Amino acid sequence: MTMTPGLRKFALSVHITSSVGWIGAVVAYLALAVVTRTSQDAQVVRSVFLALDLITRFVLVPLALTSLLTGLVMSLGTKWGLFKHYWVLIPLVLTIFATVVLLTRLEPISLLAGIAAEADSADLLALEADLLHPVGGLLVLLVIQVMNVYKPRGLTPYGWRNQQEQRTVRQPVDAAT
Amino acid sequence: MADLTPTPDSTGDTRVVPSRGSTYSTPGWVKVFGIIVLVLILLAGIVLLTGLGGDHGPGRHTPSGDGGSQTPLSSVIQDQALSRGDLVSHPPPSSIRENHGKTGGDFSGHTPVSGVTEQGVQQL
C-alpha cells in the first residue's frame, strides 16, 4: 500500500512535529526535574512535581504515541517498508522501547505528584524527581533522530531477499523489452 | 521517528540500498551498534542485579522515616502507593542535599531525612 504524495507529506509533517516535539518535551521535563533537586522553595518543588505529572500525561505520552503511530504509517505507506532497512527498523525498535519505558513511568510520576501535593514543606524539599529515565530517554531519542537524518546504508536480511526477488522478477521483463 | 522523505524508486532501490553482491552481509555500523546496545543491556542488568544503582522504583525519590509510627509523608505514600506493593524508599544522597543546602525534615518524631543512610532503606 503506497500513500498518495499529499497524504505522505501530511503524515511526514505530523511525524516530524511529534518526534521533535517529544525531544523538546523531554528537555523541558529534565529542566523541571533538576529544579526539584536544586530549589529550596517548597512551593516551587510542589508545583514542579505537579507539572511533571501533567507534562508526562498530556505532552510526552501523546507525542510519543503519535510519533510511533505516524512512523509506522510512514513506513508501511511507502516503499521503504518497516523491516527492509536498518535505519528504519532500529529507530522503530528504539521508539517502541522508549514509549514502553515512558508508559511504565506514568504511575511513579503520578505517585510522586500525589505525594508532593500533600507533603509538608520539609518533606517536599527531600523529594527528588528521577533523572535517569529522562536522560536515558533523551539519548535514545537523539540516536533515533540522528539515524533518521543520516539514514545509514544497510538492508536487513528480509530487505535483501526482497530486493533479490524483485531483481529476479525484473530481469526477464528487461530482457523481453 | 523515521523521516521517510526520500521515496525509493519503483524497484525499492535507492541510494541507501548498498547490497549489490550475491551474498548478504550485515553492515558494519549495525554490528557496532548491536555491540554497544548489548554492552549497555549487560551493564544495566549488572547494575540492577547487584543493586549498585540503588533500588528501582518511585520510592527511591522519597525520604523515608523509620517506620515506627505514622508520619505525614509516609501516610501519604502509604495511602497512595502501598497497594502497589513495590515501593522501596530511601533518602536522596546527603551530598546532593548538602550541596544545595537542602535539609531533611525531622517530622513527627521520625528519623531526620539527613540522618537516614543507605542502610536505612526500607520496604514500605
Predicted structure pTM score: 0.71
Chains A and B: how many Cβ contacts under 8 Å? 160
| Structural contact between residues A155 and A85, judged by C-beta atoms closer than 8 angstroms | yes
Flag whether the ipTM exceeds 0.85: no
* Interface contact B107-A108, CB threshold 8 A: no
For A21-77, the pLDDT digits (tens) are 999 999 999 999 999 999 999 999 999 999 999 999 999 999 999 999 999 999 998
Q: Please tell me the number of Cα atoms within 13 Å of B59 on its side-chain side.
A: 24
Residue A123 in contact with partner chain B when CB distance is under 8 A: yes
Closest by Cβ to A16, choosing from B3, B16, B87: B3
What DSSP line would sit under A30-54, residue for residue?
A: HHHHHHHHH---HHHHHHHHHHHHH
Residue B54 in contact with partner chain A when CB distance is under 8 A: no
Q: Which residues pair with B89 in a beta bridge?
A: B122
Q: What is the DSSP letter of A40?
A: -
pLDDT tens, N- to C-terminus, chain B (124 residues):
554 544 444 444 444 444 455 788 899 999 999 999 999 999 989 988 887 766 665 555 665 544 333 344 555 555 655 544 444 444 444 444 444 444 433 333 333 343 333 333 333 3
- Pick left, alpha or beta for residue B109 (phi over 0 → left; psi -120 to 50 → alpha; otherwise beta): left
Listed by number, the residues of chain B in 11-30 with a beta carbon closer than 8 Å to a beta carbon of chain A are 11-13, 15-19, 24, 26-27, 29-30
Residue A173 in contact with partner chain B when CB distance is under 8 A: no
- Residue B82's Cα: distance from chain center in Å? 20
Q: How far apart are CA B78 and CA B105, in angstroms?
A: 18
**What Cα–Cα distance (Å) separates residue B61 from each residue in A39, A63, A135, B64, B121?**
15, 26, 16, 9, 12
| Structural contact between residues B110 and B69, judged by C-beta atoms closer than 8 angstroms | yes
Q: How far apart are CA B30 and CA B18, in angstroms?
A: 13
| Structural contact between residues A136 and B102, judged by C-beta atoms closer than 8 angstroms | no
Chain B residues with CB under 8 Å of A92 CB are 2
Closest by Cβ to A154, choosing from B27, B103, B107: B27
CB count within 10 Å of CB A7 equals 12
